[in-house]
Amino acid sequence: MSYYYAYFDVKIEMKSDAEQLISYVDNKFDIATHYLNELDQIDYQECNSPDRLRLTHFLFEHLDAGLFLVRNSAEPPLTYCSFGGKIIFESSAWAPQNITKLGNSTDRVLVMAEYQWRGHWLKGLFMGYRGSNHINLINIPLRDTFSFLDDENKAFRHTQIRLTNGQTVLTIGHFKGELLDRIRVYSQKYPFYIKADIAKLRVLEKLQQILPITVVISILVFIGLVFVIRSWYNVRETLVYQLNKSVEKNEFKPYYQPIINASNGHMIGVEALVRWIKADGTVIPPAYFIHELEQSELINRVTLQLLVQIERDIALIFAKEPFFRCSINIAPQQLESDQFIDQLEQLAEVGFSFNQMGIELTERLPITDLAKAQFNILRLKSLGCIIELDDAGTGYGGTSYLQELSLDVVKIDKLFVDSLEVTPDNTPVLDAQIQMAQKLEKAIIAEGVETAAQSKLLLSRGVNYQQGYFFAKPMPADEIIEYYKQLNSDQQSV
Ligand code: C2E
Ligand code: CA
Ligand code: CA
């Protein structure tokens, strides 16, 4: 890991050095272009002494640039005039293959050329400009680019500035040993690029620098990971253990949330929602344990315990209201489990009545075998219960559950009911869901109704059956009986 970190670090360093170098050279070329325009304006005849004097003045006015050269088109092609006399270029210096055009014409070019100066052969980078008055050249010194790469790096790198025709302008550094990587970074403005090679040794050196830090970080990350995994395991182990014990002790009880026909205020049913009631009376909501229960077979035992409890808790309401239904929640894997459906059938055989029960199947979790699910739905329906699609529109079902499963009720999720609060006049998804359910002749229950306004807006869209904190929160058995009695006495007194 540390090696790769060092490798990436070195690569980033190389790239950023190359980019800096490019912008430095770009800048030099910008200046050269500007000065060449000015050079074209000076008076020049034939490299006589007034000409050379003017060139000397020009040089002193532009000391930050390089050597300036000028030639008249009438003069011999390879001979240029400088402040100190004539300079003669090597014969192939201006051959087409040796020049790199700046733009489309050959009026402005870059060239690496050899030239003779007072008997010595030298080589340099020139920018040329065929102006309206004469031909102008500037020698661009790039020696100062050495400062871009510190001494330490020179032994590990080999960096070149090259024109796009392949001519090498400058070489910085050299290294022996194995090549690790090579990059090329192009200037966006001028026809040149930086070619940089890096030695394997540089990464090893970097590794030495960062190793102590990365080792410490890796150890800390490792310790942290072990700690997180262990504590997660501990929590899980103890929770599963506790849940097992609590199922033994029958500590899972249903709470009941009314489902109201908002057009007349009648309670048409309830949803049974499981709560874990600990020995000390603490009530724990399903968010803390339902996932763990559903991961194991325990969920089946809990559902059966709830059914038995429901029959006892609301026998009074069932007896008085023949169309009243209590729905329970089951997870898709329960619906797909033959063993669980067998257990429900056995319960029916010993006298449990499913005629006033509903089964809510959530769309939040996936069904793996739709055909099996449909088969078991038919088995459940033959026991007398209805099937409801819970959390419709939030999960896996899409429209396939609605089309392929024999569902009786669609429960519209709180998420869509909430949209009535935000944009009451613009609830396209909610409206589409309602229309689809109506078209498929399913009954609709809206969940999570929290305000009078939401309730009213749902009524105006034809959704009469509603459930939510606006009417009542889920409550224990004795309270739901009280609630029912209260509702009945209120309605009779009206
Ligand atoms: P769910 O089936 O969607 O149940 C509705 C949840 O929304 C309930 O949370 C209920 O208390 C809450 N709720 C109802 N009206 C409102 C409202 O107006 N505003 C807000 N903010 N919330 C409202 P609860 O009881 O905590 O149940 C959570 C989930 O646990 C249930 O979601 C259901 O998926 C699962 N669950 C509950 N009981 C069982 C069970 O016996 N078996 C299985 N497999 N899952 C269960
Ligand atoms: Ca539900
Ligand atoms: Ca729901």
CATH code, domain carrying 441? 3.20.20.450
Query: Is residue 396 over pLDDT 80?
Result: no
Spatial contact of 335 and 278, defined as CB atoms under 8 Å apart? no
Looking up tokens 């939030």, which residue turns up?
A: 394
Residue 119 resides in a domain: yes
d(CA 287, CA 302): 15
Domain boundary among 107, 124, 144: 144
- CA 418 / ligand 3 centre spacing (Å): 13
Domain boundary pick from 92, 125, 144: 144
Nearest to 200 by CA among 158, 259, 243: 158
CB 410 within 8 A of CB 433: yes
Together in a domain, 113 and 257 = no
pLDDT at 269 over 90: yes
Residue 155 covered by a domain: no
CA–CA dist 458, 472 (Å, integer):
17
Domain boundary among 109, 144, 179: 144
Residue of 252, 288, 309, 329 to test ligand 1 pocket, by largest number of atoms within 8 Å of CB: 329
d(CA 187, CA 28): 13
Which range of residues forms the domain containing residue 462? 250-493
Whether 268 is covered by a domain: the verdict is: yes
State how many domains the chain has.
2
One-letter identity of residue 76:
P
pLDDT of 150 strictly over 60: no
Ligand 1: residues whose CB is within 6 Å?
Answer: 257, 273-274, 285-287, 290, 294, 299, 306, 328-331, 362, 390-391, 414, 448-450, 468-469, 474
Within-domain flag for 192: no
Average pLDDT, the chain: 91
Whole-model pTM above 0.75? no
Q: How far is the CA of 224 from the centre of ligand 2 (A)?
A: 38
Helices (DSSP H) in 314-355: which residue ranges?
315-320, 332-335, 338-349
Instruction: Compute the average pLDDT of residues 486-490.
Output: 87
Atom of ligand 1 nearest to the CA of 293: 44
Query: pLDDT tens digits, residue range 428-459?
Result: 999 999 999 999 999 999 999 999 999 999 99
For residue range 324-336, what is the model confidence (pLDDT) as tens digits?
Answer: 999 999 999 999 9
Average pLDDT of span 252-262: 98
pLDDT winner (highest mean) among 168-172, 329-333, 395-399: 329-333
For 208-217, 255-264, 282-291, which range has the lowest pLDDT when averaged over its residues? 208-217
Same-domain pairing of 137 and 277: no
Let me know if residue 26 belongs to a domain.
Answer: yes
Per mean pLDDT, which of 164-173, 236-245, 485-494 is the most reliable?
164-173
Q: Give the Cα separation of 494 and 485 in Å (integer).
A: 14
* 8-state DSSP, 395: S
Phi, psi of 185 (to 5 degrees): -125, 125
Confirm whether 243 is domain-assigned: no
Lowest mean pLDDT among 57-66, 145-154, 437-446: 145-154
What is the reported pLDDT for 260?
Answer: 98
